[in-house]
Structure 1
Amino acid sequence: MQRPTYGQSPPLHHPVPQHVSTVPQLRSPPPPTAQPQSHGYDGSPYPQQQQQAPQGGNMFGQYGNFMNDPAAQIASQFGQTAFRQGQDYLEKNVNRFVNVSALKHYFNVTNSYVINKLFLVLFPWRHKPWTRRQASGAGAGGQEAWLYLPPRDDINSPDMYIPVMSIVTYVFLRTLIAGLQGEFQPELFGYIATKAIVVVALEILGLRVGCYLLSISNESQLLDLMAYSGYKFVGMIVTIAISEIFNWGKGTGGWVGWTLFIYTFLANSLFLMRSLKYVLLPENNNDSRGPMQTMHPLDSRAKRSQRTQFLFAYSYIVQALFMWILCRP
């Protein structure tokens, strides 16, 4: 039996691993799912993050290439041109019936104006003065002209915001009351809104006919009359809401409802008598500064008396009839 040489150890007592180079591979092997997507291994311990970065870059690169595509730029220019042409066409056709630039004047309001105006409509007894304020501005041909201030700068100026919101509130209030009484139907929205719009349309038509017969012409007459015809809904909303809260009758039923109806009717009538005076009873017909002009500069005493009677009939008789119709359940 031969003695073992120097450097050899018994194989059964002290085994020594023969493949030392395979041990570092057990520390951080790459994920199996990332191997099919990898394009190579550069020795970094985060191969998966290195693969996601090129993907994101490719995505933004494709998006940038799409925006730089000549076909996409042509389509974008074509869309912008079509939008401008459509906007111009709409403005030209709408301006045939409604002056959009003049209509913006009636929606130029503030929160303080709305609160003060509501208080004025409901409590007009001690308000003074009622004259609308004017300011100088550039008129036709570049000449100096005197124009009425917008509602936000003048409490006596008519606006469209309160009438429009009052009509919408009136429709929803009447529908809500019908629902609380178990009488709600989807058709109520259309029925109540149609009745309100028809009443306002008839009122404006009557005013226009009266102004034509009395030879009254105003540059902003139609929009002013539309605004004033909607203020009655403020009083009707108060009347209907308080009557239903106290549960004394429906609409204007009961002595509480009738008391509120009479008060809001008188307040609205006085408000219209004072406010429409500058339209139906102009004081300075020869004053070229103001926007109010009449067909006959020198009104006779008989013509002024007719206008006063027409204003009284509209403010009291017509308003009483229409407010009673709208307050009925």
Structure 2
Amino acid sequence: MSYHPGYGGSGSKHRARVPMVPQNPDAPQLFDDTSSAYGQQQAGYPAPGIDMGFNQIFADPVANVAMAYGTNIASQGKDIVHKEIHRFVSVDRLKFFFAVDTTYVLKKLALLLFPYVHQNWEVHYHRDVPLPPRQDVNAPDLYIPSMAFITYILLAGMALGLQKRFSPEVLGMCASTAFVWVVIEVLALLLGLYLATVQSELSTFDLLAYCGYKYVGMILAVTSGLVFGSNGYYIALAWASCSLMYFMVRSLRMKILPSMVQEGLGRPSGRTQMYVTLAAAAFQPLILYWLTVQLVH
């Protein structure tokens, strides 16, 4: 076969094809072939260092023991917390003071505002256990004081708004002042009962309930002041104060003064118990006036 004179020559632009030389199997390789190893790794188990899966951790016996030990410690801590809570605040006892219904609430409000027509003031018992409030109108409760406190705060906000004096700081001050005064009153009663060595069935919740009933009178006084002005405020304040004093004396008489019948009023202990009761009742109008007068004027 004849070729063009310029093909494959020295001045040709085309290069001659280089024949492929077969690779010697015995010659050393410059790089290792890792493609087969990658395929084997995907087909088999994962590489070391990444096999700490969630199931494998909890399948470890040591991890199971540690987990059981931690659960036991958490359970013991929970029991200790519940024990300390029940030591200071009995949840079952607290539920007793909120065992009310609509009939009880209406009767109790009528008793607080018109205590003069009530005859029987004794707290009823069943197998030496006092009946819950929904079964005995004379039993103290914490539902009415709690709801009356919230209503008082809302009413105070409305009164301050009508007088162009509303602000979150002033409303917070009213709420904290009303709450602190009740706490101070309860602590003062506990101290007075302790110093007078009075053997009574009153608990802290009982005193908190009796002292919290004043919010009902405060609501009446503020509402009357907003509707009828200063004259209506003072009339309602006087009525609420007298009603609350009468209610406190008659309610606390059976619990603070249980031994006056046996000891007599002439003995020092009987007179001290009577003074504690009268002081608790006489202190109510002062708090009513202090916590409501700034909302009306």
TM-score (norm: length of structure 1): 0.64
Is 2:297 aligned against 1:315? no
Partner of 1:108: 99
Once the two structures are superposed, the pairs formed by residues 190-209 of structure 1 within 5 Å of their partners are 190-209=172-191
Alignment check: 8 A CA contact 1:221 1:279 kept: no
| Distance in structure 1 (CA, Å) of the matches to 2:79 and 2:91 | 13
Once the two structures are superposed, the pairs formed by residues 1-329 of structure 1 within 5 Å of their partners are 87-136=78-127, 146-246=128-228, 248=229, 254-283=230-259, 301-302=266-267, 303-316=269-282, 318-329=283-294
AA aligned to 1:92 is K
Relative to structure 1, the CA distance from residue 298 to residue 264 in structure 2 (aligned partners, 3 Å threshold; closer, same or farther) is closer
| Distance in structure 1 (CA, Å) of the matches to 2:237 and 2:126 | 38
- Percent identity over the alignment? 34
| Distance in structure 1 (CA, Å) of the matches to 2:200 and 2:70 | 42
AA aligned to 2:237 is F
SS at match of 1:328: helix
| Distance in structure 1 (CA, Å) of the matches to 2:278 and 2:164 | 41
Relative to structure 1, the CA distance from residue 127 to residue 219 in structure 2 (aligned partners, 3 Å threshold; closer, same or farther) is closer
SS at match of 1:233: helix
| Distance in structure 2 (CA, Å) of the matches to 1:117 and 1:280 | 21
Post-superposition CA distance 1:71-99 (Å, at most 9, x none): 7xx9xx99998986665344222123212
Post-superposition offset of 1:299 = 6.7
Post-superposition CA distance 1:27-64 (Å, at most 9, x none): xxxxxxxxxxxxxxxxxxxxxxxxxxxxxxxxxxxxxx
Relative to structure 1, the CA distance from residue 155 to residue 241 in structure 2 (aligned partners, 3 Å threshold; closer, same or farther) is same
AA aligned to 1:259 is I
| Distance in structure 1 (CA, Å) of the matches to 2:187 and 2:272 | 18
Post-superposition offset of 1:196 = 0.8
SS at match of 2:111: helix
Alignment check: 8 A CA contact 1:218 1:279 kept: yes
Alignment check: 8 A CA contact 2:198 2:273 kept: no
Q: How many residues align?
A: 233
TM-score (norm: length of structure 2): 0.70
| Distance in structure 1 (CA, Å) of the matches to 2:263 and 2:158 | 52
Partner of 1:291: none
Post-superposition CA distance 1:124-158 (Å, at most 9, x none): 0110100110110xxxxxxxxx1211111100000
- As a proportion of its length, which structure holds more helix? 2
Relative to structure 1, the CA distance from residue 308 to residue 86 in structure 2 (aligned partners, 3 Å threshold; closer, same or farther) is same
Alignment check: 8 A CA contact 2:225 2:231 kept: no
Alignment check: 8 A CA contact 2:202 2:256 kept: no
Mean alpha-carbon deviation: is it higher for 270-279 or for 209-218? Answer: 209-218
Post-superposition offset of 1:188 = 2.5
| Distance in structure 1 (CA, Å) of the matches to 2:80 and 2:222 | 44
Alignment check: 8 A CA contact 1:106 1:161 kept: yes
Alignment check: 8 A CA contact 1:116 1:155 kept: yes
Relative to structure 1, the CA distance from residue 212 to residue 181 in structure 2 (aligned partners, 3 Å threshold; closer, same or farther) is same
| Distance in structure 2 (CA, Å) of the matches to 1:128 and 1:92 | 42
Alignment check: 8 A CA contact 2:132 2:139 kept: yes
| Distance in structure 2 (CA, Å) of the matches to 1:284 and 1:241 | 40
Relative to structure 1, the CA distance from residue 87 to residue 307 in structure 2 (aligned partners, 3 Å threshold; closer, same or farther) is same
